[in-house]
Amino acid sequence: MVLDKLMPDEFVESIHHIHIDHLKMRNIRAVITDLDNTLVEWDRPFATPEVEDWLKRLRDAGIQVTVVSNNKQDRVDRFCAPLGVRFIWAARKPTRQAFLRAVREMNVSIEETVVIGDQLFTDVLGGNRLGFHTILVVPVSDTDGLWTRFNRQLERIALYWMRRKGMITWRRKT
């Protein structure tokens, strides 16, 4: 069923509601995360202190991070380079290549990795297609770029049907 591929394994308010100790207990060794409206607002060039702290706590727990973004190289590089975070730009999510490249470069398996993002049709669909554990977060900002605004309209429809079929009980402001 199409809606099953859009269904995240978890839904949380933000990355800060993801318990790193629970990831460790589940033998998670790596995180693939989206950038725009997942870690910071799509138009914020650098990490906030809270995001820097979250990334440090992951690193201290022995969990690797790769940012996988559909955005351009200069945007993703400007954000990730000061943090020393591995990244893949122009990822073409939800296609499989960037997700597979990320686990290969981190030398982990899909089962040892979670995918975190704010969009059903890029992050969740891309992760679910390969069998990753997926975590959907509420977008950091209420505004989006043009293409993402289109995706959000489709998400509203998908979430409506998922709720109607009893697949989800949570609500998301999108």
Residue with tokens 């730009």: 89
- Is residue 17 assigned to a domain? yes
Q: Where in the sequence is the domain holding 40, given as residue range(s)?
A: 2-164
Residue 172 domain-assigned (yes or no): no
Specify if 87 maps to a domain: yes
Judge whether 171 lies within some domain: no
Q: 113-161, pLDDT tens digit by residue?
A: 999 999 999 999 999 999 999 999 988 877 666 566 667 677 777 777 7
Lowest mean pLDDT across 16-20, 63-67, 132-136, 165-169: 165-169
171 versus 119: the higher-pLDDT residue is: 119
* pLDDT tens-digit map of 22-78: 999 999 999 999 999 999 998 899 999 999 999 999 999 999 999 999 999 999 999
- Three-class HEC string of 113-151: EEEEECCHHHHHHHHHHHCCEEEEECCCCCCCCHHHHHH
Q: What's 131's domain CATH number?
A: 3.40.50.1000
Q: Residue 17 phi/psi, 5° resolution? A: -100, 5
| 87 pLDDT higher than 80 | yes
Nearest to 105 by CA among 80, 79, 129, 87: 87
Residue 105 within a domain:
yes
Q: What is the value of pTM for the model shown? A: 0.87
Whether residue 9 is contained in a domain is answered as yes
Considering the domain boundaries, does residue 20 fall inside one?
Answer: yes
Query: Helix or strand or coil: residue 99?
Result: helix
Q: Is residue 174 part of a domain?
A: no
Task: Give the total number of structural domains in the chain.
Answer: 1
